[in-house]
Amino acid sequence: MASPHTLREAHPTERAAGIDHYVSDADGIGGRLRESPEDFRVRELEAFEPEPLGADTGSYPELVVRVTLRDWDTNDFARRISDALGISRERVSWAGTKDKRAVTTQLFTLREVDPDDLPEIRGAEIDPLGRAGRGLSFGDLAGNAFEIRVADAGSEAPERVADVVADLRAFGGDGGETEATGPGGNGAVVGVPNYFGQQRFGSRRPVTHRVGLAVVRGDVREAVRLYAGNPAATEPDDTRAARDRVDAAFGVGDGGAGDGLGAGDDPATADGTGDGDWEACLDAIPGKLRFERSMVHRLAERDVPPDAPPDHDDWRHALEAVPSNLQRLFVNAAQSFLFNRVLSERLRRGLPFDRPVAGDVVCFADGDAPDELYAPDTDRLQRVDEDRVSVVTRHCERGRAFVTAPLVGTETDLGDGEPGEIEREVLDGAGIEPGDFALPGEFDSSGTRRAILLRSDLDVTFEGGDPRFAFALPSGSYATVLLREFTKSGPLDL
């Protein structure tokens, strides 16, 4: 067994999401992201080939457009363009949702729209590309290319960036031997743990995974309480007061739920001795907490006693007041948290991320991915026994294979050896086993696996002393997971 070793501790909010450490022990550059939208540029790497614009609209009813947005949330833009075209929002599709405070370039499909009807929208450049027989979906996104400037990084930024790059080259399996490739002389193949970033769980109130963990454990009452109650220190006074009132209805004392930053096992849970006055809770919950209001409204409608069994149908009825995509997100976030915990424990033990040990499960590279990406194909898996470690290591060194960890679900096969031991310890610590994901409705999940190493060609240039990072990542990976190693800042600063 590898010996645990000392690592630089992550920010408390990150630890609540299962991210315990940094790879690099070098000091961070600090600074600020998104001083202007132009400081955060994202360009989709597309895996979607449209037909020509003149293609038959009967066979190809979808108009494919490339849109560059400045300071637009993707969902808000979809509503805006559907209103401008006078069509249903359901006729607008895209492959990946992007951040608002950015300049983003991505594809949209517009069903039964003519190029001549495209509107002019402030902050948006809309260029028709062709036609398609179906709308875009998440699987059509291969990845994203980023250009990100960090403002006010300080005079020591060049040296600190170089130190972090050296650490990440070694971690990613490059060992610092690759020639520098970028115009700034800092091009390198770097690697970091392929964590799910803080956005997956909530930066100000990381709670989605805790709700999901409660659902998977069968404690749906606690899932409702965690979402509607459970105040966080970072929230405004009115929402904290409202959540305190909900906790009191469940039987948790004023402020007893802590700061909303727990790592899975809550500092306080409902004991069922609350007053169950859901109408008083509705009076306290502001309108901006619309999903919380919807949950509590269903409790009030059925006059659910706070000591009803944790898996009672009335609690599930309340939880299902939120949209189906949020219901899925609860369980997905629980899986993501457990995955992060597995990676943190592997890192703590000193096991490699760039190559397998006996007992690992690897996947092979996606041969259809754009050249810019180190992209895994988790549909092609292979278990690594002692006799094949050296062979698979060579595949990993050449970018042809990736070590994986589970996103646990009903069909998950855990690893063997020390990797499997880590996976089982994390699940045992959470009080969960794969079969627990056999759940009704949107909460069910069969699980999959995910590469544990996020590798990228990184180029760093400096503009007036501020670093600009250029790199590409496969879909489902987070730019902030790479940038956090350089800034050493909390999630709210990324």
The Cα–Cα gap between 361 and 377 comes to 13
Around 466, how many Cα atoms within 13 Å sit in the side-chain half-sphere? 15
Specify the residue for token string 């590409």.
472
Amino acid letter for position 21: H
| Annotation marks residue 99 as catalytic | yes
Sign of the Cα torsion 303, 306, 307, 309 reads positive
Our measurement of the distance from residue 466's CA atom to the centroid of its chain's CA atoms, rounded to an integer in Å, reads 27
Point out the catalytic residue in the list 27, 76, 83, 99: 99
Closest CA to 360 of 340, 381, 339: 381
Q: How far apart are CA 186 and CA 474, in angstroms?
A: 21
Return the closest-CA partner of residue 165 out of 476, 478, 467, 491. Answer: 467
Angle at the Cα of 151 (from 162 to 188), degrees rounded to 5? 30
Cβ atoms within 10 Å of 10's Cβ, excluding its own: 21
Which amino acid is located at 396 in the chain?
C
**Among positive and negative, which fits the CA dihedral 180, 365, 475, 371?**
positive
Radius of gyration of the chain from its Cα atoms, rounded to whole angstroms = 24
Paired with 66 in beta bridges are 107, 127
Give the residues across from 302 on adjacent strands.
Answer: none
State whether residue 175 is helix, strand or coil: coil
Alpha-helical (H) ranges within 141-236 are: 157-171, 208-217, 220-228
What is residue 229's DSSP assignment?
S
Residues assigned a catalytic role: 99
